[in-house]
């Protein structure tokens, strides 16, 4: 069991009326670990905003519950096949903490996971061009260890699956779940990679460092995917501290994500140009190892694209970004932004 705290308990700690928060939590579930809630210093701080419901989530922001077309790109329930050589297996719909900006806000924490495991594994086995599978959800590390071990073992019997990756925020939100026993089990399934999700320097705690050290010592390469969040980490000093600190934890900054166009998350978005400015501002100030790719996941399931001068252009009609095939895609940025 993960030591958790209810929303009522957290609000009582800060003497806040629960009434404005309850309708939001009723639509988009709230879940908090005691550990992560303990990082909150005051309402509205960078940790609070990532995990506490906000009435802005219920605003009519004109965005879509599934802007990346994951459901259309699911040949079988719970498996997303967007790129020719990669697939995503949604093995859970639970996380230790429900992030308010989640790309799968429509389903995480809402009912049972829609995975047909037998059909998904059969599809992977019958599709030899897939060499890389990503376990996601929800959080795969919340599965019982024996269940995760069995799943990894079954995937390893598929000859053309060369790489298995796990996406998990457990090292950030519930680092106590990363144990030597878990790491020994994961190490049985190499080559195995893990991408985690630190968004702010205050998440770089001693407990998180210990969790990352256990994983790295088990031979698991660690990467990090940060989401660029307005008012949380959209400042040079914050990202400089975060990315340099991740290297000390043996975690390679991999992606800085532009906020997806997910319904209920528009208040977290920054203009595209802001992310480009932030990455440019890091050059020469931190090691090249500490500079991630700034990417946007294009709507309609057209894939992640690095935001570079060669791929993104701004004109009178807004942004045009070239997708992985080199074709121009219109992208609607924040109103009034460059």
Mean pLDDT is lowest, of 113-117, 218-222, 268-272, for: 113-117
On the 0-12 / 13-18 / 19+ scale of CB atoms within 10 A, 304 is middle
Catalytic residues: 82-83, 86, 95, 99, 102, 104, 260, 297, 304
When pLDDT is averaged across residues 203-221 and rounded to a whole number, the result is: 98
Name the pLDDT band for 314 (thresholds 50, 70, 90).
Answer: confident
- Predicted pLDDT at 111: 64
Name the pLDDT band for 322 (thresholds 50, 70, 90).
Answer: confident
Q: Which fold has domain 4-331?
A: TIM Barrel (3.20.20)
Say what the pTM is: 0.91
The domain segmentation of the chain, as residue ranges, is 4-331
- Predicted pLDDT at 112: 58
């Amino acid at each position: 069991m993960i030591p958790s705290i209810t929303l009522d308990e957290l609000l009582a700690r800060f003497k806040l009326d629960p009434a404005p928060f309850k309708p939001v939590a009723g639509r988009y579930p709230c879940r908090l670990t005691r550990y992560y809630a303990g990082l909150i210093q005051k309402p509205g701080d960078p940790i609070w905003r990532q995990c506490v419901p906000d009435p802005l989530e219920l605003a009519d922001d004109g965005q879509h519950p599934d802007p990346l077309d994951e459901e259309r790109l699911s040949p079988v329930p719970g498996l997303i096949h967007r790129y020719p050589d990669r697939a995503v297996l949604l093995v859970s719909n639970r996380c230790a903490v429900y992030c308010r900006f989640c790309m799968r806000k429509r389903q995480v924490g809402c009912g049972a996971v829609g995975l047909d495991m037998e059909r998904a594994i059969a599809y992977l086995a019958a599709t030899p061009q897939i060499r890389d599978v990503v376990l996601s959800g929800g959080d795969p590390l919340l599965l019982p260890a024996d269940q995760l071990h069995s799943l990894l073992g079954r995937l390893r019997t598929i000859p053309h699956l060369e790489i298995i990756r796990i996406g998990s925020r457990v090292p950030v939100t519930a680092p106590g779940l990363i144990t030597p026993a878990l790491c020994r089990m994961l190490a049985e399934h190499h080559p195995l990679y893990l991408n985690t999700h630190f968004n702010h320097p205050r998440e770089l705690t001693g407990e998180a460092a210990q969790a990352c050290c256990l994983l790295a010592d088990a031979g698991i390469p660690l990467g990090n995917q940060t989401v660029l969040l307005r008012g949380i980490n959209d400042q040079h000093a914050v990202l400089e501290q975060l990315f340099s600190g991740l290297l000390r934890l043996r975690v390679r900054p991999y992606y800085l994500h532009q906020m997806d166009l997910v319904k209920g998350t528009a208040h977290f978005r920054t203009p595209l140009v802001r992310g480009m400015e932030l990455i440019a501002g890091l050059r020469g100030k931190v090691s090249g190892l500490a500079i991630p790719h700034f990417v946007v996941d294009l709507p309609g399931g057209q894939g992640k694209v690095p935001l570079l001068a060669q791929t993104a252009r701004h004109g009178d009609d807004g942004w045009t970004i070239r997708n992985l095939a080199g074709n121009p895609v219109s992208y609607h940025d924040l109103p009034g932004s460059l």
